Amino acid sequence: MQDTALNQALGQLRPTLLKIARLQLRNDTWAEDVVSETLIAALEGAQDFAGTSQLKTWVIGILKHKIIDQFRRTSREVSVEAAVEADPALIRPVEIPTLVGDAGRLRSLGWLPKRHVRDALRDVLREHGTI
């Protein structure tokens, strides 16, 4: 397939690819990224297209692999909101002692995950020579 014909065919497939990606990923930004990666991969691998299937089938196959790659990338990321939603005990109000010299810094720690508050309190106490 000639380059201009391939570019035109891929351009016509873009809305379909975007619709599939949006349905699978449920995130417009990720869908746009995945479709862009798919189109680049199709252009770079055009010489590998044997023509035994339709171009649309081949490109959708590439898209499926790019969607899986996106899921793998994002499965390693955890948003704070999702973590708190899964375990609300991660964040709770904390009583902060005002006896420590750096009370303003400690007051700002009122709604942090427990382990961060503990670590920050330990750091402040070390700075003041208490521990």
pLDDT tens profile 48-80: 888 888 999 999 999 999 999 998 888 766 566
Domain ranges of the chain: 3-75, 90-127
Say whether pLDDT at 103 is over 80: no
Write out pLDDT tens, residues 19-37: 999 999 999 999 999 999 9
Q: CATH for 3-75, among 1.10.10.10, 1.10.1740.10, 3.40.50.150, 3.90.1150.10?
A: 1.10.1740.10
Q: DSSP readout, 67-123?
A: HHHHHHHHHT---HHHHHHH-GGGB------S-SS-HHHHHTTTTSBHHHHHHHHHH
Characterize 14-46 residue by residue with b for buried, 16 or more Cβ atoms within 10 angstroms of its Cβ, and e for exposed: eeebbebbbebbeeeebbebbbebbbebbeeeb
pLDDT value of residue 86 = 65
d(CA 43, CA 63): 13
What's the residue count for the chain?
131
